[in-house]
Amino acid sequence: MPVRPIIWMGDSKRVVRSFAKPARQEVGFELYRVQQGLYPRDWKPLPSVGPGVIEIRVHAGREYRILYVAKSQFGVCVLDAFVKKSRKTPAAAIALAKVRLKELLERF
């Protein structure tokens, strides 16, 4: 299976680049797995954002999260990335991912 491209929505790529180096490395590894059609090692579905949206969990000193959807025929679409500071996923992150998913669906 060919490696699918990553489509970065909004500022998600800039945010990932701002992560600490160990977190960036793990995010890169997990996204590469997704590009190959595999699941990340630590993930959970986020149906509250939309169908097919998955949260990658990265534990590298702090808690990092990547929200993506890989159902697109065009590639792996990273909707949002953030540092998690509490047990609950921030409502603002969920709202932003919903907006970006809607934009993605309208674009493609």
Mean pLDDT value of segment 74-88 = 93
Specify the pLDDT at position 30.
98
Strand, coil or helix: what is 4? coil
d(CA 20, CA 3): 26
Mean pLDDT of the chain: 93
Specify the pLDDT at position 1.
64
Residue found under tokens 């990273």: 78
**Statement: residue 83 has pLDDT above 80:** yes
Tokens of 32: 């590469």
| Sign of the Cα pseudo-torsion (84, 87, 93, 97, in order) | positive
Specify the pLDDT at position 72.
63
d(CA 16, CA 81): 6
Tokens of 52: 């097919």
pTM: 0.93
CATH number of the 6-107 domain: 3.30.2310.20
**CA-based diameter of the chain, in Å?**
38
Summarised one tens digit per residue, pLDDT across range 46-56 is: 999 999 999 99
Secondary structure tally for the chain: helices H, strands E: 3, 5
Mean pLDDT value of segment 2-13 = 93
Summarised one tens digit per residue, pLDDT across range 14-35 is: 999 999 999 999 999 999 999 9
